[in-house]
Structures are given as structure tokens and as C-alpha cells.
Chain A
Amino acid sequence: MTEAILQVEGLRKVFGAAVAVEDVSFSLAPGGSLAIVGESGSGKTTVANMIVGLERPTAGRVVACGRDRSRPPRSARERRERGHEVQIVFQDPYSSLDPRQSPAAAVDEVLRLHTRLGAPQRRRRVEELAELVGLDKRQLAALPSRLSGGQRQRVAIARALAAEPQVLILDESVAALDVSIQAQVLNVLADVREHTGVAYLFISHDLAVVRQVSDEVVVMQGGSIVERGPTSRVLDEPEHPYTRLLRASVPTLGWRPARRLTHFSTEAR
């Protein structure tokens, strides 16, 4: 196995008396794609928040790009460098963007933070990123209130990618979108991975989507990992009863996601 780009060891989080995450370990290879599935409240978001540093682990370690990030950063520089390593796209497209800021300005702000590019170069980079996620000029200049949920999620993805992260965490990032828009954004994600070699940590409860985007999957229940393995193996021949239950409770599993993807991508292009 190659050196992991993201490694999580014995992660634990306690909120008051409640244990939200218990002994979670996994690793993600460079350019890989790992999914975390599990029902609501199983601790997926808490794991993501601990990885990006929005929540401090009660115990355990998070290492990304060789750097331990279990403690808060000590300097502004370290903070920015961490931003350069792992980025996240949240679930809610409506509050993911500053309502006063156009997508172009939002992406530009990130470029100013992480690079020393001059204004014209930044403008070019903004356009590149916009093209990568499929936003046009008008949408780039519009205020978020004028964009649809799918468009906003593209902006959030572009903004995250502007930091050129090695790992992109997608916390239910397509869950709020309706199926056709979901397929478009998933296409964008596939394109992005192909072009940038970024690794995905994909959090979802939609098994059909997981099958489509991830090589490996871990299944969480009540804060712990109950099963892990290659996506097709885990989803087709689940070993743990909980995974079987999860699979049975998802009506969309019968759908062949590959077909769903091609269907919309041909329509879109």
C-alpha cells in the first residue's frame, strides 16, 4: 500500500455524556476515494469535523499529508497549510456561501489566502476552476441568492479546490440536491478527480451514490465502524447485519447507478 494521504487512528469524540464517535480508524490513499456510510446520528459528520479541525478529538490522531492535525494549529501559517491539505464541502448548499459574495469573489478570496498570484492570474484561475465545476461567467458574477442548489454546491466545490487540497471531504454534499442535479454534481466530482488527483472522503447515506464514487467504504453505526472493505464487496455481500439492514432500507439500490449517470451525462453534454 502507498503512503496514506489521510490517516485516522482511534478517533473518539464525547459530547458531554454522549459518545458520538468511538475508536474510528481508516486511511485514504492519494487520489483514492473512501466512503463513510451510516444512518443519521452515527457520527459521520463528527468524524469529518475532527479531520478538518472544526471539532477537537477527545482521543485519537488525525494525520494528513504527514502532519498531525489533532491539535489546533499553532500559527497562522500552519492554519493555512492545513487548509491546503484537506478541504470540505458541506451538506447545505444554501448556507455554504456568503450571501453577500459572488462565487468569483469567494474563490478569489481563497486564492488570495493561499497563493501570491496577481489579480489577472487569479482571475484566470477563477475561470479555470469555474470551468472545471461547470459554472458559466454569469453564474460566477451572480450573488448566491440567484443560484440554484446545484450551482451553489459547484461553487462550494470550486472554492474548496481553489486551495488545491490533497483530500476533499464531501459531507452529504449532494444529499440536498434532487436526483438529476445530483448526477450532474457527481459527474463534476468524477471530472475533478480525474483532472486533479484529489482524494475523496465521501460521506453519504445514499448507497447508490456511494457505489458510484468510491473505491472503498466504511460502515458506521452508533459512532463505531462495523464493516469495511471494497465498495462492491461491502454493498453486494455485506457481512455485518447492520450493513445488510442499511442496504435493505435503501430503495434506490436496485437502480444501476452507472446507467443513471450515463443517462444524465449524455443529456447534459
Chain B
Amino acid sequence: MSSVVTSQRLPARPRTHRWRPGLGPLGTTAAVTILAAVALAVLGPALTSADPNTSDFAKAYGAPEAGHPLGYDGQGRDLLARLLTGAGTSLLGPLWVVALSMTAGTVVAVTAAWVGGRLDSVVSAALNVVFAFPGVLLAMLVAAVFGAGLGAAVLALAVAYVPYIARLLRSAALAERRKPYIRALEVQGAGAWAICLRHLVPNILPLIAAQATLFFGYAMVDLAIISFFGLGVQPPDADWGVMVASGQSGVLQGFPAESLMAGGCIVVLVVAFNVLGERLCGPARPGVRSSPRRWRFRFGAAS
């Protein structure tokens, strides 16, 4: 048959994989903010000559001066240097939480959806139980029992997030699993691993990425709260959550700069992550298809 045949009277077809330039002004701002924060965190030490941990009590709550554009905290440490080093821990913590919880959540979700039957029911029931327990509380409990520190807090928070993530991804994995292209592979005799790793997971990856972005924001707040209560990052290490906490006495004495600036950084980034996460997965503007599809088109082009 010649190619004339296929060159086309198109049958009515759902227009799905149309990519619209996606994030909108707000989403783009959010993305840029996040990129800037990452850049600042990475370049941090190079941007200021001041040492974040050197204290000079004579300069406690000192006003900005040449070479110290943000002034000093209650122990006379350079605020800019502490904010910049704090950016590193404040971003790395959530990154670990998200990496761990997303991996575990995806494994749980895909396994439950794939195996189905009794395993799926058991997993779903278990997820619903754990679901009811607030992540921060669990993390603080774990940190209180097993000792404070960023590592413990990250691990506990990651565990606490798994049910949320798994529940959400399970339904996506289940929907994907029922699609004819997956069933065709089953009929072909392809193995479950191959199908899941090469087809199912890559096709829900846009959703996974969007969720990861959202949860990055949540993890940032939760870790800051944990650090605020002294169960996460330990002073004198710089961290925004720790800074908000240690700035409290300054607030009382009329020097709110440390708490405000650290808190401001947290708020700005959390909002940015939320906006971006919602842009990536959310029920966007009317006329725009659910964006996992847009993502698939953008990032899934390779065959």
C-alpha cells in the first residue's frame, strides 16, 4: 500500500498531546525564584567573605555596614553569611526527604497497583491508617526518641510522607496499568519489571515530578518547624528554621531582622514550590489539558 493512504483524512481524534507554553507568569516567577535560591545556596560561600560561624559579641544585633550588608545576629555573626549557608541546609534537607519519600512512595504505589487483589487492599488500608497521622508530629516523635539531628528528621519526615505520595500515585498507576498499551505488553509476555520500569513509571513521571515539587515545599516548612523546636538542624549550624528560632530573643529586644529574614526566605521558597508544583500538576486554566500530558510531551519525547 502506498503512503498516499496514510497521508490523510484524519478521523476525529482527541487533541491531547498539544503542548502549550506552560507555566504562565506566576509559574515562571516561581521557577526563577527557586533557581535563584539554588544558585545562591551553591555559590553562597563565594559571595561573602564573612564566616557564618564567627561571632563577635561586640557587634550583636549590629546594623548593616560595609562588607556586612545585612548586619549581625544576636551573637554578632554575619547575617548574610548565615542566610546563605542556611540556604544550603534548608534546601538539601527537603531534597533528601523528597528523594526518599518519592522513591518509596512510587515503589509502594506501583507494586500495589500492579499486583492488585489482596495486596492492593491491604496496602490501601494501611496507607489510610498512617495517612491520618501528621508528618511533622511523627518526625518530631522520632527525633525526640532517637536523638535530634537533620538525618533523623529527614528520615522520619520521608517515612511520614510516603502514605500521602503512595496514595496519590497508586490511583495514577492503577489507571495507567489498565491502559491497552500496558495490557498489550502483558499479552506479549513481557515481564512485570520491564513493563513497570520502561513504560508505566516513565508515563506517570510527570505526575511524580509535580508531586515532588509540591512536597519539597511541605518538607521545607516541616523541617523548619522541626529545627525551630530544636529537633532538627543543631546550632551553631546555620539553617533558616534554626535562625527563626534563635532570632526570637532578638524579636523581643526589638531586633527582628534575623527571624524575619530567615522566615521570609522560607515563605518565599515554599510559596514558589507550591505555585510551581500546582502549575505542573494542577487543574490549570480552562482549555489547558491536565499538565502531566504537557509534561509528557515536553520531557518524554525520546523514544
Contact = CB atoms under 8 A, between A and B. Distances in A.
B126 interface: no
Among B6, B16, B191, chain A packs the most CB atoms within 10 A around the CB of B6
A94 B303 CA distance: 17
Contacts of B190: 83, 109, 113
A184 interface: yes
Interface in B284-303: 296-297, 300-303
A18 interface: no
Contacts of A150: 6, 11
Interface in B145-189: 179-181, 183-184, 186-189
A105 to B, nearest CB: 4
Interface string A164-179: 0000000000001110
Interface stretch (A141-149, A207-215, A218-226, A253-261): A141-149
A96 B180 contact: yes
Contacts of A82: 189
A67 B4 CA distance: 42
B187 A88 contact: yes
B226 to A, nearest CB: 39
Interface string A88-121: 1011101111111110110001100110000000
Contact of A134 (B6, B183, B184): B6
Contacts of B252: none
A110 B14 contact: no
Given A268-B1, A268-B5, A99 B184 contact: no
Interface string A195-214: 00000000000000000000
Contacts of A180: 9
A145 B189 CA distance: 25
B17 interface: yes
15 contacts: A82-B189, A83-B187, A86-B187, A87-B187, A87-B188, A92-B180, A96-B180, A98-B181, A100-B203, A134-B1, A145-B16, A145-B297, A148-B11, A184-B5, A268-B2
